[in-house]
Amino acid sequence: MSVVVITGGTAGVGKATAERFAQAGFDVAVIARSEAGLTDTVTLLESYGVQASGISADVADASQMKHAANRIESTFGSVDIWINCAMCTVLAPFEECSDEEFRRVTDVTYLGYVHGTREALRLMRPRDKGTIIQVGSALAYRSIPLQSAYCAAKAAIRGFTDAVRCELLHRRSAIQLTMVQLPGVNTPQFDWARNKLWRSVRPMAPVYQPEAVAQAIFDAAHRHTREVWVGKTSIQTILGNMLFPAFLDRQLAKKAWQGQQEREPLTRPAPGNITEPVEGLHQARGRFSAEAKSRAVSIDSVLPGRVTLAVAGLALIALYKRCKR
């Protein structure tokens, strides 16, 4: 039986991904902080007839992650797939984020991936076999206002992943390292995030259901690909930022501020899950199902380059034939 490990696997994209792998017959180990969330998730996964385990650990703590990895190996044996998905964020203008808040988002959302990748490699290297998936975001390429710490962390994950991938290639390792860049997703994230804006927050539209994203992650884990972009908006955003970054700066300055807020005012700022998990929100879907898309197109990141080369090649052939006339 194949084994998958998922950090942040008790809610949102992480939980939807854990369920997708359980549906396919994988044994699943989930790492998260909330004991209640872990209990609910393990019960769900076991209903598919697989073995499941929930380990309470803070991904920002390297020693806790090492302990969790050791427990998983002793319970299930070798790990085939490790998925880093844990995150936290603060929605506020940069100057209103405290040093402690910025550091905590960095510790969880970026260093949590570093610690998870380190433990995954430690478990996989003896067999020189396995796949590590980094669940990223289009925001790794194109930052937006009001989430400076989160955007910075996602960009850092991308830089870190590229460096480690090169090292694995240098060592001729068979371990696969893949990043999956996501669009806005309908998860409880927007109710558990620390919100200092005095209005309810939401993902930038259009929004996708977590199950659609989970399918893309599942597919990426089963083929050797460098990076996957999920959702039309992710593809457009990433390519658009490569071509017109200054234009997007101006557009996001106009639209992304209000685009991440709803009309309903908050009576007080939401404390969020920065230091402690928010209980009662450990489901995959959030409150945006009425508008969320159930399917998401995905492409490998190498495709745009190949298309560009193909178009350039055809143009050169046409030019050559024209010059011979």
> pLDDT tens for residues 292-304?
999 999 888 766 5
Question: How much is the pLDDT for 281?
Answer: 82
Question: How much is the pLDDT for 271?
Answer: 73
Of 91, 120, 119, which Cα lies nearest the Cα of 105?
Answer: 91
Q: What is the DSSP string of 33-73?
A: S-HHHHHHHHHHHHTTTS-EEEEE--TT-HHHHHHHHHHHH
Least confident stretch, 175-179, 273-277, 320-324? 320-324
How buried is 276 (Cβ within 10 angstroms: 0-12 exposed, 13-18 middle, 19+ buried)? exposed
Place of tokens 């017959």: 25
Percent of the chain with pLDDT over 70: 91
Which strand ranges, in their side-by-side order, compose the sheet holding 81-84? 52-56, 27-32, 3-7, 81-84, 131-137, 176-182, 227-230, 298-300
Of 49, 10, 12, which Cα lies nearest the Cα of 189?
Answer: 12
CB 188 within 8 A of CB 264: no
Q: Is the pLDDT of residue 310 over 80?
A: no
Question: How much is the pLDDT for 325?
Answer: 53
Q: What is the pLDDT of residues 43-68, one digit of tens each?
A: 999 999 999 999 999 999 999 999 99
Higher pLDDT, 12 or 280: 12
Q: What is the pLDDT of residues 105-117, one digit of tens each?
A: 999 999 999 999 9
Of 306, 160, 184, which Cα lies nearest the Cα of 236?
Answer: 184
Question: How much is the pLDDT for 324?
Answer: 54
- pLDDT tier for residue 229 given thresholds of 50, 70 and 90: very high
User: Could you list the active site residues?
Assistant: 150
Q: Checking DSSP bridges between strand 194-195 and strand 131-137, what pairing results, if any?
A: unpaired
d(CA 1, CA 48) in angstroms, rounded, equals 14
Question: How much is the pLDDT for 142?
Answer: 95
d(CA 43, CA 21) in angstroms, rounded, equals 14
d(CA 238, CA 227) in angstroms, rounded, equals 12
Question: How much is the pLDDT for 230?
Answer: 95
- pLDDT tier for residue 156 given thresholds of 50, 70 and 90: very high
Q: What is the pLDDT of residues 159-213, one digit of tens each?
A: 999 999 999 999 999 999 999 999 999 999 998 899 999 899 999 999 999 999 9
How buried is 167 (Cβ within 10 angstroms: 0-12 exposed, 13-18 middle, 19+ buried)? exposed
Q: Is the pLDDT of residue 272 over 90?
A: no
How buried is 38 (Cβ within 10 angstroms: 0-12 exposed, 13-18 middle, 19+ buried)? buried
Q: Which domains does the chain have, with CATH numbers?
A: 3-324 (3.40.50.720)
Mean residue pLDDT across the chain: 91
Structure tokens at 41: 């998730």
- pLDDT tier for residue 313 given thresholds of 50, 70 and 90: very low
Question: How much is the pLDDT for 280?
Answer: 82
Q: Which amino acid is at 124?
A: M
